[in-house]
Structures are given as C-alpha cells and as structure tokens.
C-alpha cells in the first residue's frame, strides 16, 4: 500500500489522488517491488524545476537514504520478458552504441498491456515532452546552435539510429513476431526510446577502468530526480540494491537533485533536452578544435621551410595520438581540461628545428619526463597559469579561440544583450532560451581565453 507520505502533495500540503493517478499507481508498484521511499521525501510535479521531481517533506541530514531500489526492480534486458531471445541471440544485437538490447526490451515492455513495468512506464504515456535537439527541425538546430557542436552530434545520432533500426533491430523483430511487430514498433517509437534512454537511463560504473562500460539500464524512482551541477543527492550501487543518498543536509521543501555527471550545457541539451540557466552551470565547457590550433600555427609560420616543419610536427603529434582530425581541446570555467594534450601540442609546435629533430630521434619524451610534464601542464594551462605562458604559446591560443568564436552565427555581445535585457529574454521561445544558455556558456569561456592570451 502506498502511504499518504508517498502520495503526491499539493502546495498546501494536502494530497489529491485525482491529480495524478499514474503517479499513485507507480507508488503502489514501488511498494509491491519493495522499492523503499523514505518518509522524508515525496514526488510531485509542483515546486520542481521540470515536471516530476522529488521534494523534502522535512529537514534531511547528510547520508540519509532517500530511497533504495532492489536490483530486481531495475529494467534491463536481463529482467525483461524478452530476456531469453536477447541473451540467446546477443551476437546479432551488437552495435557501436551497445544500446540495442535495452531498446528492444523497452519497445516490448512499453507497448505490452501486461508488462510488469506498466505502472512505471505509464508515467510517460507519450514522449512528446522530450525536447532533445534531435526533435527540433534541422533549420532550428542550424540557426540556434551553429558553432556549439550540437548539430553535428545530432546528425551523427540520427544517422546511427536509422542504420541501427534498419540493419539490426528490424531483422531481429521480424524473426520474433511473437514479441515484436514493426507496425507497432516503428522507427519513430525507436527514436523516442533512444531519447528516453539518453535522458532517463543509468550506467553502473565499471569496477575496472579498463573494462568496457556497462550497458545502460532503467532505474525506476532514481529517474524521477532532476539534475543541477550543485546537487544534493547521489546514487550508490551495492550488490543487493541501488541507494539514493543525501550528500549534504537538505532543507524542508527543497528539491532533491541528483547529478547526471559533470555535464556542460551543450551536453545537457544534446542528451537531456535542457540546460542550466547561464551562468549557473559550474561544469560548463567550450571546445576548441585541434585543427584550429594547427590553423593558428600555419598563419604564424612565415616561410615554406617552416611550413614543412610544421607539417612534420603535426604528423608526429597525430602518430603519438596527441591530436586527431576531429579532436578538440576542452576548456572549463577554470582553464584547460585536456591540459596534457594541449601542453604537448603547444610545446611541439613551438620547437626549433633542432629541438624537433632531437625529439624525433628520442621518439617523444621519456616516461619520467611525461609525469613531470603532466603536473606542469595542469598548472600552466589553468586560467591562473595562462597569462604567464610564453608569448608564442599565447598567440596560438588567442588565434585558435578567435577562429572558434567566428563559427557562431552571432557574437558574444549580441547574445549578452539579449540575456541582460529582460524584455528580449522574455520574448524567447523555450528552445531559443536553451540555445542561448549553451552559446553564452561556450562563448564566455572562449572570450576569457582570448583575454588572458592578449
Ligand atoms: N523531470 C523528469 C520527469 O518528469 O520525467 C524526471 C527527470 S528525468 C531523469 C530527466 C529529464 O528531466 C530531462 O530530460 C529534463 O527534461 C528534465 N530535467 C532534469 N533536470 C532538469 C533541470 N535542472 N532543468 C530543466 N529540466 C530538467
């Protein structure tokens, strides 16, 4: 039985069963599967940042277990009705994403009236609320998100989804007509479920860093929590169950926030369809294409002999896997997050002909030199360290940041004017506002890099 404490509460504190029957039947299901919810929290659509969320009914101390989920309540290929065929024929379901088995299990469970997971999945009767950029028009993406990296990431997703559905999922469904029917389990449903998995699934951390990452799974109740970078709860994995634990004291009426990881706004938008309002996301980042640093070096190289030397240097950096054609140097709010690669790149590019020849003969740096270099790199390429870099390094960074800024449709000042003008901000649609948060977060980091390297 769901207790009153678990029923959705209205702002006045009373509960109203008619408000959300699907939430009540989910809470009953939680009781049945021994998913234990603390009496200090409740689920609601009121007082949360986005649709469902969890709120504190009273003050909560750090370390309090907000809820625990037995492993049998998790939804993944191993717990789904489709387990047997998914396991027996798993070789047919391999794909770069590794998500196909979960997606097939979800397609079945989502559309099966008798599914054990019905009270859980019925919380989302359709997926129209998902607003990932993959559901925006191409024109919206290209106009609002030009330069952010999101349009390219979405194009890759969309073509992978189509290929995976046509080449792997469809043939598999056709050979199991007792479980799937392509008329019902369409590409459109598949794409919605991809977005659902992107935004709602969890990946248990692997015990061994060298192992392949674990495939995603659905974790009822944990996926009712919204995210902020300054979160107050965290999911812990034990052999028997998963526990959401308060990581700091939480005041009565505060929302309980999980963390979806240290995630920049462009990634939050791409994977979850939302952003943290600019400038609150402490995990925001901006990418500088590695090729932008190369282009900056080319422009700074006066003659043909030097140009040829630069080509050799870049080739060596590529052979050492320090740079790649599509690679990026990532900057956070406090400086470079890919400091080792960037430091090596700047160092090699700035070598004289003789230094580079020695470097080639040594086949790179000695191992102990590498370790010293790592700690030097982190300090030197932090925003505190960058002003003290050698002038030629600063010039390269300055030019690369400049090239990156020109890839956006509008400059930083234009975006800032909108952000700072309440009337202009109020006129923005939901998507325009999200895109503005992404652009401003990235551009302000790039601008800071430019200023520090001036
Ligand atoms: N609010 C969700 C619901 O009602 O189904 C539960 C959380 S679900 C794991 C993730 C989704 O919640 C995201 O895709 C996004 O739509 C929303 N969300 C999470 N954190 C958010 C935030 N800080 N601001 C806006 N939306 C958020």
The CATH number of whichever domain residue 419 belongs to comes to: 3.90.1420.10
**Residue 275 domain-assigned?**
no
Cα 238 from Cα 365, distance rounded (Å)? 42
Residue 226 near ligand 1, beta carbon < 6 Å? yes
Q: What are the tens digits of pLDDT across the range 267-324?
A: 999 999 999 999 999 999 999 999 999 999 999 987 999 999 999 999 999 999 999 9
Give CA 449 to chain center in angstroms. 24
- Residue that terminates a domain, selected from 264, 299, 329: 264
> Which long-range contacts link 425-430 to residues 24+ away (Cβ below 8 Å)?
430/131
Index of the ligand 1 atom closest to the CA of residue 123: 5
Instruction: Say yes or no: 58 and 109 in one domain.
Output: no
Does one domain contain both 30 and 127?
Answer: no
Going by pLDDT thresholds of 50, 70 and 90, the confidence category of residue 221 is very high
> 227: Cβ below 6 Å to ligand 1?
yes
Assign 448 to helix, strand or coil: helix
Question: Going by C-beta distance under 8 Å and a sequence separation of 6 or more, which residues neighbour residue 264?
Answer: 281, 283, 284, 285, 441
Which CATH number fits the domain that encloses residue 35? 3.90.1410.10
- Best probe residue, ligand 1, of 122, 127, 274, 280 (max atoms within 8 Å of C-beta): 274
Mean per-residue pLDDT, 381-386: 98
In a domain, 271, yes or no: no
Category of 305 on φ-ψ map: left (φ > 0), alpha (ψ -120 to 50) or beta: alpha
What's the 9 CA to ligand 1 centre distance in angstroms? 19
Asked if residue 430 and residue 312 are part of one domain, the reply reads: yes
Question: Is the same domain home to 192 and 252?
Answer: no
Identify the domain boundary among 202, 233, 264.
264
Distance of CA 47 to the CA centre of its chain: 25
What are the tens digits of pLDDT across the range 178-209?
Answer: 999 999 999 999 999 999 999 999 999 998 87
Among residues 217, 232, 256, the one where a domain terminates is: 217
Atom number, ligand 1, closest to the C-alpha of residue 227: 20
Q: Are 320 and 422 part of one and the same domain?
A: yes
Judge if 132 and 180 occupy the same domain: yes
Residues 213 and 333 in one domain: no
Q: Report whether pLDDT(146) > 60.
A: yes
> What ipTM was reported for this prediction?
0.99
Q: How confident is the model at residue 384 (pLDDT cuts 50, 70, 90)?
A: very high
The answer to whether residue 19 scores a pLDDT higher than 80 is no
Same domain, 46 and 93: no
Per-residue DSSP letter, 133? G
Residue 155 CB-half CA count within 13 A: 10
- Please state the rounded mean pLDDT for residues 421-435: 97
CA of 221 relative to ligand 1 center, distance in Å: 13
257 and 294, same domain (yes or no): no
Q: What percent of the chain has pLDDT over 90?
A: 88
**228 in contact with ligand 1, CB cutoff 6 A:** yes
Residue 223 has pLDDT above 80, yes or no: yes
Q: How confident is the model at residue 370 (pLDDT cuts 50, 70, 90)?
A: low
Mean pLDDT of the region 70-85: 98
Asked, for residue 273, whether it belongs to a domain, the answer is no
Same domain? 297 vs 412: yes
pLDDT recorded at residue 4 = 35
How confident is the model at residue 368, as a pLDDT? 62
Confirm whether 230 is domain-assigned: yes
Residue 366's pLDDT is 67
Does residue 14 register a pLDDT over 50?
no
Choose which residue among 227, 235, 264, 434 to substitute to test ligand 1 binding: the one with the highest number of ligand atoms within 8 A of its C-beta: 227
**Domain count of the fold of the chain:** 3
CA of 227 relative to ligand 1 center, distance in Å: 7
Same domain, 108 and 237: no
Question: Which residue range forms the structural domain that includes residue 421?
Answer: 286-452
* Torsion angle, alpha carbons of 218, 223, 229, 233, to 10: -110
C-alpha distances in Å from residue 435, one per residue of 183, 404, 410: 35, 17, 12
Q: Is there a single domain that holds both residue 291 and residue 165?
A: no
Residue 93: inside a domain = yes
Share of the chain above pLDDT 70, in %: 94
- State yes or no: pLDDT of 174 exceeds 70: yes
pTM value is: 0.92
Q: Would residue 281 count as lying in a domain?
A: no
Pick the closest to residue 442 from 294, 290, 333 (CA basis).
333
In a domain, 197, yes or no: yes
Ligand 1 centre distance from Cα of residue 31 (Å): 24
Residue 435 lies in a domain: yes
The verdict on whether omega for the bond into residue 279 sits within 30 degrees of 0, i.e. cis, is: yes
Which residue's CA is minimally distant from atom 2 of ligand 1?
52
């Amino acid at each position: 039985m769901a207790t009153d404490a678990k029923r959705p509460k209205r702002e006045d504190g009373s509960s109203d069963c008619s408000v959300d029957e699907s939430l009540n039947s989910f809470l009953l299901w939680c009781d049945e599967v021994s998913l234990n919810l603390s009496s200090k929290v409740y689920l609601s659509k009121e007082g949360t940042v986005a649709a469902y969320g969890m709120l504190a009914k009273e003050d909560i101390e750090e370390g309090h277990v907000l809820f625990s989920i037995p492993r049998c309540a998790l939804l993944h290929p191993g717990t789904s009705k489709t387990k047997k065929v998914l396991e027996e024929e798993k070789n047919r379901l391999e794909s770069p994403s590794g998500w196909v088995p979960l997606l097939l299990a979800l397609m079945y469970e989502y559309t099966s009236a008798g599914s054990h997971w019905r009270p859980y999945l019925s919380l989302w009767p359709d997926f129209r609320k998902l607003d990932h950029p993959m559901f925006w028009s191409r024109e919206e993406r290209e106009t609002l998100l030009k330069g952010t990296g999101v349009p390219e990431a979405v194009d890759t997703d969309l073509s992978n989804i189509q290929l995976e559905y046509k080449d792997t999922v469809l043939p598999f469904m056709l050979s199991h007509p007792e479980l799937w029917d392509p008329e019902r389990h369409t590409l459109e449903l598949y794409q919605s479920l991809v977005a659902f998995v992107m935004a709602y699934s969890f990946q248990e951390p692997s015990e061994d860093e060298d192992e392949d990452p674990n495939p995603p799974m659905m974790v009822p109740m944990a996926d009712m929590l919204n995210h902020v970078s300054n979160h107050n709860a965290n999911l812990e994995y034990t052999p028997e169950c998963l526990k959401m634990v308060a990581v700091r004291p939480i005041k009565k009426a505060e929302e309980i926030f999980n963390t979806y990881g240290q995630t920049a706004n462009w990634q939050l938008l791409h994977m979850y369809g939302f952003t943290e309002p600019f400038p609150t996301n402490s995990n925001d980042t901006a990418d500088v294409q590695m090729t932008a640093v190369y282009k900056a070096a080319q422009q700074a190289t006066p003659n043909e002999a030097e140009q040829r030397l630069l080509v050799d240097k870049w080739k060596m950096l590529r052979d050492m896997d320090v740079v790649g054609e599509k690679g990026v140097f990532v900057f956070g709010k406090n400086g470079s997050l890919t400091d080792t690669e960037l430091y090596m790149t700047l160092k090699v590019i700035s070598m004289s002909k003789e230094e580079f020849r020695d470097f080639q003969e040594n086949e790179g740096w000695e191992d102990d030199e590498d370790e010293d270099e790592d700690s030097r790199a982190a300090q030197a390429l932090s925003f505190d360290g960058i002003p003290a870099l050698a002038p030629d390094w600063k010039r390269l960074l300055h030019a690369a940041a400049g090239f990156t800024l020109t890839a956006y449709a509008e400059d930083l000042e234009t975006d800032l004017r909108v952000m700072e003008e309440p009337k202009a901000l109020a006129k923005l649609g939901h998507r325009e506002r999200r895109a503005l948060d992404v652009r401003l977060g990235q551009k302000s980091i790039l601008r800071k890099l430019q200023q520090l390297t001036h």
